[in-house]
Structure 1
């Protein structure tokens, strides 16, 4: 482009060109990658408010002398799936590019799966055997991710799938909720991930555990509100990112 200045510029509230910045830093610097979907990308957060759960985590890391040299790379894509392509390549396909390729990555948080589970019966209920098979494929995807991460010396943390009953987009029934519970039981089981971040336990309504707590619901019964994102970011133990790990 030969123009000295940008003509007819327009403001766009999306990251079409830049998703992260790779910089030179000291020997003690490191980063954590958040691999996720729209709940990581920040749907329901304040536009330009920097109040996604990843922003909250980054601010907490920066405020502690023990972790101030650790950055957070938000690799959330709205509509992303573990197993199939959607708005962007699936998590398995983009893992090398988004998690392994950036320099300085020491830890990965995997928060994917709600779109796989919700999408199975989005246009109509299917049989129990299809639900069971999907749960198996989701777990196999998690296993592949942990194996690939460990092969490159990364610690990988599993985040439980948050509730979405009442969602008008997925309108999940009892079988879908059973799938979510089965997947979350696997995530919580010792030895499957290096650590567990129980986002489900943080944002669910204790009286209706298949639903988001109303104060943490942005209104669509699928994505958290800014208050929900803050609770999620505040609940992640900074001890997970010890330089000894």
Structure 2
């Protein structure tokens, strides 16, 4: 964080892991990049291309949490309205990207945990429409489907507004309808079952 307070959800997860006897030997290496994409070159090298450097080459790695995709979904319709065919093809490419990451991680003996894509309706940078929300839902259905990942953290369910599930809960919204607030990051950290890492 800019103020050095270390309030990202991964920081909260690291603190929780360190305070439980069954997980205190588990560290968190955060290779998330703000504005990054799963497949496209958004902000920095895309997640799929970073797999070897960010995951495979890390000594002692045992788990991988994949939380990517919101910028891929938003970027498609940012400059113009995407056609239904473009949306379907985009979702298929993203699913293929997730599947590649899962296969490569499993080949290394890692437990691969998928994080669902959180709501971003109302964001003025991406201005997502109903088609973008439908694509997000399709991606989340794939992520939640048993067997695609070894486990799932349903961040979408944790931070969405029950009254308007295409949007972040106001208390968890930083104000841009895309990035969670500090309370939202805490809720995300608290939602990760530590049993995923207990041995």
Which range, TM-score by smaller chain? over 0.9
Kindly indicate whether the alpha-carbon contact (under 8 Å) linking 1:46 and 1:226 is maintained by their aligned counterparts in 2.
no
Q: Aligned with 2:29: secondary structure? A: strand
Pair 1:176 & 2:132 matched = yes
Pair 1:126 & 2:82 matched = yes
Q: Distance in 2 between matches of 1:84 and 1:123?
A: 15
Kindly indicate whether the alpha-carbon contact (under 8 Å) linking 1:158 and 1:196 is maintained by their aligned counterparts in 2.
yes
Q: TM-score, normalised by structure 1?
A: 0.80
Q: Aligned with 1:234: secondary structure? A: helix
Answer 1 or 2: which has greater strand percent: 1
Runs of 5+ unmatched residues, structure 1: 1-44
In the TM superposition, what is the alpha-carbon distance from 1:47 to its structure 2 partner?
2.3
In the TM superposition, what is the alpha-carbon distance from 1:86 to its structure 2 partner?
2.5
Q: Aligned with 1:157: secondary structure? A: strand
Q: Aligned with 2:113: secondary structure? A: strand
Q: Distance in 2 between matches of 1:86 and 1:177?
A: 20
In the TM superposition, what is the alpha-carbon distance from 1:165 to its structure 2 partner?
0.2
Q: Runs ≥4 in structure 1, deviation > 3 angstroms?
A: none
Q: Deviations over 1:147-197 (max 9, x none)?
A: 000000001000000000000110000000000000000100111000000
Q: Deviations over 1:93-118 (max 9, x none)?
A: 00110011111110000000001000
Q: Distance in 2 between matches of 1:46 and 1:238?
A: 28
Q: Distance in 1 between matches of 2:190 and 2:95?
A: 27
Q: Distance in 1 between matches of 2:96 and 2:21?
A: 38
In the TM superposition, what is the alpha-carbon distance from 1:84 to its structure 2 partner?
1.5
1:61 to 6, 11, 17: 17
In the TM superposition, what is the alpha-carbon distance from 1:79 to its structure 2 partner?
1.3
1:92 maps to: 48
Kindly indicate whether the alpha-carbon contact (under 8 Å) linking 1:56 and 1:230 is maintained by their aligned counterparts in 2.
yes
2:145 maps to: 189
Runs of 5+ unmatched residues, structure 2: none
Q: Deviations over 1:111-139 (max 9, x none)?
A: 00001000000011011000000000000
In angstroms, what is the RMSD of aligned CA positions? Answer: 0.9
Q: Aligned with 1:66: secondary structure? A: coil
Q: Distance in 2 between matches of 1:129 and 1:117?
A: 14
Q: Distance in 1 between matches of 2:3 and 2:108?
A: 35
Pair 1:155 & 2:111 matched = yes
In the TM superposition, what is the alpha-carbon distance from 1:46 to its structure 2 partner?
6.5
2:97 maps to: 141
Structure exhibiting the larger radius of gyration computed from Cα positions: 1
- Paired positions, count: 199
Q: Deviations over 1:45-83 (max 9, x none)?
A: 662111110011000000011111110000011111111
Aligned ranges for residues 27-42 of structure 1 at < 5 Å?
Answer: none
2:175 to 216, 219, 235: 219
